[in-house]
């Protein structure tokens, strides 16, 4: 027997290459039976409650407060009090200390937060662990750095805090959106009343524990849970000076109408239908990874998701072939399994919306491809889907699906790519894949999108501003630009 034979004997080839389950333990998360609102640094027993569940199993997790107008009012009063009696007058370097503390505590407790985020929202643990949590902490670190440098950020403009900020966030990145909203608001000396989305309140409620640990003065951050009615009560409250909203274009428009003439400041971060444009000179395998990351990351529940793929005609066939083969390797299932690529759809309602739009795509004549895939019996799931043969007028090419569904279209010239990419009411993000730097710049100048990624997609950094054009909203979050909505400049 040769040496090689002996070695092969000791390491038999496995019968198949499927992954063994690798579930993350839930033990680190201690859920309470019921949660109240966090107002003035205290837990307030809610008048009404509803049940929050795990979308992967439909298991009830906890009872959550359904914020009433009275409870919103109490939160605004607490925020106003904290603003007037200390927080707004605190030197920036002191505010920064609290923000640094919050950032460090988030890092220390990141596993607990990541598990809870995946449990309540359905996103894969590897995303909440490697993307949501590090970015949320990074946002607090970044804005902590600005708190004592506002005069340098806006020289000769005497920046002052706006007052009480009402913040309404969605369910796709619950803790990260909270960080995007709260970190710049506090850095600028404002106080906050925040409402998390109805389906994903748990990490925002755990965050209240972090605030206590950081010894943030009571009333500086208040969290009121509930549905759209609670959100509307925050928007309408006369004691709120600024509204920051992330969510659907429809609700964003309604908020803008309600605020007209009130003098309240407003930023809207709304929907998107991003074009991911692939030229024939790109590194094709990398582009396929970018396309997959662009649309299947977080089940496609991403406002800047690359939901329209524009493939240059000359590479259409090899690109679609590679993409389909790559889809077969995506693992759909338990969000708490460390091998999972695509988790659960966030809610029954969202699943119904995805199904409706996919049916519309089939009816209008697009060709559907879904890889073979066994879905769990309970919970809300959708197989990663690609549509080819899509016309620009189809609903799947026009409307935000907010699910793991990609529409593939084609183009011949850069001019045509720009024209088709811009043919949407939205303007949040876009991607360009080409080896030519000059072409990237040429495209970026012409694409009507707040962010244009080149040879990558869905990259985020707290230093870089994010926001939209057209029906994707206005105002920027992140970077120096993200400070401005939380400041007034009295000359």
Q: Does 303 bind ligand NDP (CB under 6 A)?
A: yes
Closer by beta carbon to ligand NDP, 214 or else 451: 451
Closer by beta carbon to ligand NDP, 304 or else 417: 304
- Measured from the CB of residue 251, what is the shortest distance to ligand NDP in angstroms? 4
Contact predicate 189/84, CB 8 Å? no
Q: Which residue is nearest to ligand NDP (CB)?
A: 231
Q: Does 197 bind ligand NDP (CB under 6 A)?
A: yes
Closer by beta carbon to ligand NDP, 67 or else 159: 67
* Calpha distance 367→240 (Å, rounded): 49
**Annotation says 215 is catalytic:** no
Contact predicate 275/431, CB 8 Å? yes
Q: Does 92 bind ligand NDP (CB under 6 A)?
A: no
Closer by beta carbon to ligand NDP, 172 or else 388: 172
Closer by beta carbon to ligand NDP, 52 or else 312: 52
The burial of 279, by beta-carbon neighbours within 10 Å (0-12 exposed, 13-18 middle, 19 or more buried), is given as buried
**Annotation says 303 is catalytic:** yes
Residue 322 backbone phi and psi in degrees, to 5 = -60, -40
| Subset of residues 254 to 283 that bind ligand NDP, contact rule: CB under 6 A | 254-255, 270-271
Which of 83, 297, 402, 466 forms a contact with ligand NDP (CB under 6 A)? 402
- Measured from the CB of residue 229, what is the shortest distance to ligand NDP in angstroms? 7
Q: Does 102 bind ligand NDP (CB under 6 A)?
A: no
Which of 148, 227, 281, 416 forms a contact with ligand NDP (CB under 6 A)? 227
Which of 170, 184, 306, 467 forms a contact with ligand NDP (CB under 6 A)? 170
Q: Does 192 bind ligand NDP (CB under 6 A)?
A: no
* Calpha distance 341→330 (Å, rounded): 6
**Which is the catalytic residue, given 24, 71, 117, 269?**
269
Q: Does 195 bind ligand NDP (CB under 6 A)?
A: yes
How many residues of this chain interact with ligand NDP, rule: CB under 6 A?
26
Q: Does 449 bind ligand NDP (CB under 6 A)?
A: no
Site of interaction with ligand NDP (CB under 6 A): 168-172, 195, 197-198, 227-228, 231-232, 235, 246-248, 251, 254-255, 270-271, 303, 350, 353, 400, 402
Catalytic residue positions? 269, 303
């Amino acid at each position: 027997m040769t040496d090689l034979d002996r070695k092969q004997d000791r390491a038999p080839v496995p019968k198949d290459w499927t992954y063994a389950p690798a579930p993350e333990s839930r033990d680190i998360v201690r859920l309470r039976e019921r949660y109240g609102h966090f107002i003035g640094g205290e837990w307030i027993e809610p008048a009404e409650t509803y049940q929050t569940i795990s979308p992967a199993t439909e298991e009830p997790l906890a009872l959550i407060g359904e914020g009433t107008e009275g409870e919103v009012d109490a939160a605004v009063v607490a925020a106003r009090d904290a603003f007037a009696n200390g927080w707004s007058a605190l030197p920036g370097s002191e505010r920064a200390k609290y923000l640094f503390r919050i950032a460090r505590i988030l890092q220390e407790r990141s596993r607990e937060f990541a598990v809870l985020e995946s449990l309540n929202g359905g996103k894969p643990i590897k995303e909440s662990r490697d993307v949501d949590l590090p970015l949320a902490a990074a946002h607090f670190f970044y804005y902590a750095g600005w708190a004592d440098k506002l005069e340098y950020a806006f020289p000769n403009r005497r920046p002052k805090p706006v007052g009480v900020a009402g913040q309404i966030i969605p369910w796709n990145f619950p803790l990260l959106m909270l960080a995007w909203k709260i970190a710049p608001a506090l850095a600028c000396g404002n106080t906050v009343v925040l409402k998390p989305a109805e389906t994903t309140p748990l990490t925002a409620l755990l965050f209240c524990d972090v605030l206590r640990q950081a010894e943030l003065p009571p009333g500086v951050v208040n969290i009121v849970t509930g549905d759209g009615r609670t959100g509307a009560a925050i928007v309408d409250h006369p004691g709120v000076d600024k509204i920051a909203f992330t969510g659907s274009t429809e609700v964003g428009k309604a908020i803008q109408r309600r605020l007209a003439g009130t003098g309240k400041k407003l930023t809207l971060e709304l929907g998107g239908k991003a074009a991911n444009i692939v030229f024939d000179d790109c590194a094709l395998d990398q582009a396929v990874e970018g396309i997959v990351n662009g649309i299947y990351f977080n089940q496609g529940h991403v406002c800047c998701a690359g939901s329209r793929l524009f493939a240059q005609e000359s590479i259409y066939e090899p690109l679609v072939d590679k993409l389909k083969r790559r889809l077969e390797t995506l693992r759909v299932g338990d969000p708490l399994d460390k091998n999972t690529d695509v988790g659960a759809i966030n809610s029954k309602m969202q699943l119904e919306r995805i199904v409706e739009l996919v049916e519309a795509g089939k009816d209008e004549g697009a060709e559907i491809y879904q890889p073979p895939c066994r879905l769990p019996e309970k919970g809300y799931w959708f197989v990663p889907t690609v549509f080819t043969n899509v016309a620009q007028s189809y609903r799947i090419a026009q409307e935000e699906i907010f699910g793991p569904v990609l529409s593939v279209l084609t183009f011949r010239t850069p001019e045509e790519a720009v024209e088709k990419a811009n043919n949407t009411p939205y303007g949040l993000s876009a991607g360009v894949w080409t080896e030519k730097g000059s072409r990237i710049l040429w495209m970026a100048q012409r694409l009507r999108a707040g962010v244009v990624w080149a040879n990558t997609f869905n990259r985020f950094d707290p230093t870089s501003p994010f926001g939209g054009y057209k029906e994707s909203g206005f105002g920027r979050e992140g970077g120096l630009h993200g400070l401005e909505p939380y400041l007034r400049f009295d000359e």
